[in-house]
Amino acid sequence: MDDLYRELIIDRYKNPQFRGELEPADISYHDDNPLCGDKIRIDLRVDENDIVTEAVFSGHGCSISLASADLVVESILGKTLDEVKEMDKEMVLELLGIELGPVRLKCALLSLKVLKAGVYGLGEGESSDDLVA
Protein backbone atom coordinates (compact mmCIF):
# COMPACT_ATOMS: atom_id res chain seq x y z
CA MET A 1 0.00 0.00 0.00
CA ASP A 2 0.98 3.56 -0.68
CA ASP A 3 2.93 5.28 2.07
CA LEU A 4 0.38 8.08 2.13
CA TYR A 5 -2.36 5.65 3.04
CA ARG A 6 -0.50 3.73 5.72
CA GLU A 7 -2.60 1.70 8.07
CA LEU A 8 -2.47 4.21 10.90
CA ILE A 9 -4.04 6.94 8.77
CA ILE A 10 -6.80 4.78 7.35
CA ASP A 11 -7.47 3.35 10.81
CA ARG A 12 -7.68 6.74 12.52
CA TYR A 13 -9.85 8.03 9.69
CA LYS A 14 -12.28 5.13 9.94
CA ASN A 15 -12.17 4.65 13.70
CA PRO A 16 -11.25 7.96 15.32
CA GLN A 17 -10.47 7.76 19.05
CA PHE A 18 -11.08 11.39 19.92
CA ARG A 19 -14.09 12.44 17.92
CA GLY A 20 -16.72 14.44 19.77
CA GLU A 21 -17.73 17.78 21.21
CA LEU A 22 -17.43 19.20 24.73
CA GLU A 23 -20.24 21.36 26.10
CA PRO A 24 -19.11 23.44 27.83
CA ALA A 25 -15.48 23.58 26.81
CA ASP A 26 -12.75 25.86 28.13
CA ILE A 27 -11.45 26.37 24.63
CA SER A 28 -13.38 25.77 21.42
CA TYR A 29 -12.34 26.82 17.95
CA HIS A 30 -13.25 25.87 14.39
CA ASP A 31 -11.94 26.68 10.96
CA ASP A 32 -12.17 25.34 7.44
CA ASN A 33 -10.05 24.92 4.36
CA PRO A 34 -12.23 26.53 1.69
CA LEU A 35 -10.18 24.95 -1.08
CA CYS A 36 -11.35 21.44 -0.29
CA GLY A 37 -14.24 22.10 2.09
CA ASP A 38 -12.59 20.43 5.08
CA LYS A 39 -13.98 21.70 8.38
CA ILE A 40 -12.56 20.98 11.84
CA ARG A 41 -13.57 22.01 15.34
CA ILE A 42 -11.52 21.26 18.43
CA ASP A 43 -12.81 21.50 22.03
CA LEU A 44 -10.53 21.44 25.10
CA ARG A 45 -10.89 21.35 28.86
CA VAL A 46 -7.95 22.38 31.03
CA ASP A 47 -7.32 22.18 34.76
CA GLU A 48 -6.24 24.97 37.12
CA ASN A 49 -2.63 24.56 35.97
CA ASP A 50 -3.57 24.99 32.29
CA ILE A 51 -2.97 21.33 31.61
CA VAL A 52 -5.16 19.79 28.92
CA THR A 53 -7.39 17.16 30.55
CA GLU A 54 -9.87 16.54 27.77
CA ALA A 55 -9.62 17.15 24.03
CA VAL A 56 -11.83 16.14 21.11
CA PHE A 57 -12.39 17.13 17.49
CA SER A 58 -15.37 17.17 15.16
CA GLY A 59 -16.02 18.07 11.53
CA HIS A 60 -15.47 16.54 8.13
CA GLY A 61 -12.66 16.20 5.67
CA CYS A 62 -10.27 13.87 3.92
CA SER A 63 -8.41 11.02 5.56
CA ILE A 64 -5.27 13.10 6.05
CA SER A 65 -7.03 15.99 7.77
CA LEU A 66 -9.20 13.81 10.01
CA ALA A 67 -6.49 11.32 10.94
CA SER A 68 -4.21 14.23 11.70
CA ALA A 69 -6.89 15.83 13.90
CA ASP A 70 -7.34 12.59 15.84
CA LEU A 71 -3.59 12.21 16.38
CA VAL A 72 -3.01 15.87 17.23
CA VAL A 73 -5.79 15.90 19.79
CA GLU A 74 -4.45 12.72 21.38
CA SER A 75 -0.96 14.16 21.55
CA ILE A 76 -1.92 17.19 23.64
CA LEU A 77 -3.55 15.36 26.54
CA GLY A 78 -1.48 16.15 29.61
CA LYS A 79 0.35 19.02 27.93
CA THR A 80 0.23 22.59 29.19
CA LEU A 81 -1.22 25.27 26.96
CA ASP A 82 2.26 26.79 26.67
CA GLU A 83 3.51 23.47 25.34
CA VAL A 84 0.65 23.38 22.85
CA LYS A 85 1.66 26.84 21.65
CA GLU A 86 5.10 25.45 20.87
CA MET A 87 3.77 22.72 18.57
CA ASP A 88 4.77 22.98 14.93
CA LYS A 89 4.36 21.43 11.51
CA GLU A 90 7.15 18.89 12.07
CA MET A 91 5.42 17.45 15.11
CA VAL A 92 2.26 16.79 13.09
CA LEU A 93 4.17 15.19 10.24
CA GLU A 94 5.96 13.00 12.76
CA LEU A 95 2.61 11.87 14.19
CA LEU A 96 1.37 11.01 10.70
CA GLY A 97 4.67 9.43 9.70
CA ILE A 98 4.47 10.53 6.07
CA GLU A 99 5.77 13.17 3.71
CA LEU A 100 3.24 15.35 1.97
CA GLY A 101 3.05 17.59 -1.09
CA PRO A 102 1.98 21.22 -0.69
CA VAL A 103 -1.76 20.63 -1.20
CA ARG A 104 -2.10 17.72 1.21
CA LEU A 105 0.11 19.52 3.73
CA LYS A 106 -2.76 22.01 4.14
CA CYS A 107 -5.07 19.08 4.95
CA ALA A 108 -2.61 17.73 7.52
CA LEU A 109 -2.09 21.09 9.22
CA LEU A 110 -5.71 22.24 9.48
CA SER A 111 -6.14 20.66 12.93
CA LEU A 112 -2.96 22.26 14.27
CA LYS A 113 -4.13 25.61 12.93
CA VAL A 114 -7.47 25.21 14.67
CA LEU A 115 -5.84 24.05 17.90
CA LYS A 116 -3.33 26.88 18.09
CA ALA A 117 -5.83 29.54 17.05
CA GLY A 118 -8.04 28.34 19.92
CA VAL A 119 -5.22 28.29 22.45
CA TYR A 120 -3.99 31.72 21.38
CA GLY A 121 -7.59 32.97 21.61
CA LEU A 122 -7.93 34.21 18.05
CA GLY A 123 -11.30 35.56 16.93
CA GLU A 124 -13.33 33.80 14.25
CA GLY A 125 -11.92 34.28 10.77
CA GLU A 126 -8.64 35.75 12.03
CA SER A 127 -5.73 34.48 9.98
CA SER A 128 -3.89 31.70 11.74
CA ASP A 129 -1.62 30.68 8.87
CA ASP A 130 1.56 31.85 10.57
CA LEU A 131 0.79 29.68 13.61
CA VAL A 132 1.75 26.57 11.64
CA ALA A 133 4.48 28.07 9.48
Which residues bind to other proteins, rule: CB under 8 A? 1-2, 4-5, 10, 13-14, 34-39, 60-64, 104, 107
DSSP 78: T
Q: How far is the CB of 6 from other proteins (least distance, A)?
A: 11
In whole angstroms, what is the distance from residue 89 CA to residue 22 CA? 26
Q: How far is the CB of 114 from other proteins (least distance, A)?
A: 16
Question: Of the two residues 40 and 44, which places its CB atom closer to other proteins in the complex?
Answer: 40
Peptide linkage before 24 cis (omega within 30 of 0) = yes
Question: Of the two residues 37 and 78, which places its CB atom closer to other proteins in the complex?
Answer: 37
- Among 1, 31, 8, CA closest to 93: 8
- Among 58, 132, 121, CA closest to 91: 132
Question: Of the two residues 40 and 52, which places its CB atom closer to other proteins in the complex?
Answer: 40
